Amino acid sequence: MELEKTNQMNTLFEFYGPLLTEKQQQYMQLYYADDFSLGEIAEEFDVSRQAVYDNIKRTENILLDYETKLELVKEFKQNKHVMDELIQYIQEKYPEDSQMMNILSRMTWGTDEKRGA
């Protein structure tokens, strides 16, 4: 399994997972997050490997379709990039402004490593 595709599917699953059926969620969790093989998933659910494969491929397409239509991941990545630039700018230009740093710390998400927090 290609690492880039795994990362993409895990990211899409984080954003759109709740929109999937319970079985789709379980299969995707096991296959992508827990690194189960098709055979292991098939055994777990007492179905054929082909059934698992078909479900996963169909679910991948659903997730990609959600992103094409909603673009939540794309928007998140763009906002994170801008937020990272803002953090860097504030740290360089206003390192002593504790009020600004406090406000910034309340509005950031997923950027703790950039702040050194």
- Inter-residue contact 28 to 38 (CB < 8 Å): no
**What is the reported pLDDT for 117?**
36
For 9-40, the pLDDT digits (tens) are 999 999 999 999 999 999 999 999 999 999 99
The candidate with the shortest Cα–Cα distance to 34, out of 65, 6, 68, 75, is 6
- Inter-residue contact 104 to 87 (CB < 8 Å): yes
Which CATH number is 3-70 given? Answer: 1.10.10.10
Pinpoint the residues of the chain covered by CATH 1.10.10.10. 3-70
